[in-house]
Structure 1
Amino acid sequence: MNEEHAPDVSSAGPPVETQAETLPVVNAIIATAASAALKRGTGQDVGLGVIAALRRLRATAQEEAGLAVVVAIDTVIRSRLLAENLTRLRASGAPPAAIVIPTPGRGANAAAAIFESAADSCLAVNAHAPDNGPLELAVYALTGQLVQQFGGTPAWPALKDELDRPLGGHIPVPTSVLPIEGAPVH
Structure 2
Amino acid sequence: MTAPESPQTPAFSMTPPLPLAVSAPAELLAQDFTAETVTDLRHAVQRHATTAGLTNNARDGLVIAVHELVTNAVRHGGGRGCLRLRRDGENLVCDVTDYGSGFADGVPAVGGVPPADAPGGRGILLARHLTDTLLISDGPDGVTATVTVCLPAAGHFTAPVIPAQTTKTEPDRGPAPG
In our comparison, the structure showing a higher alpha carbon Rg is 2
Whichever structure has more helix as a proportion of its residues is: 1
Q: Same fold (TM over 0.5)?
A: no
* Alignment TM-score, normalising by the size of structure 1: 0.30
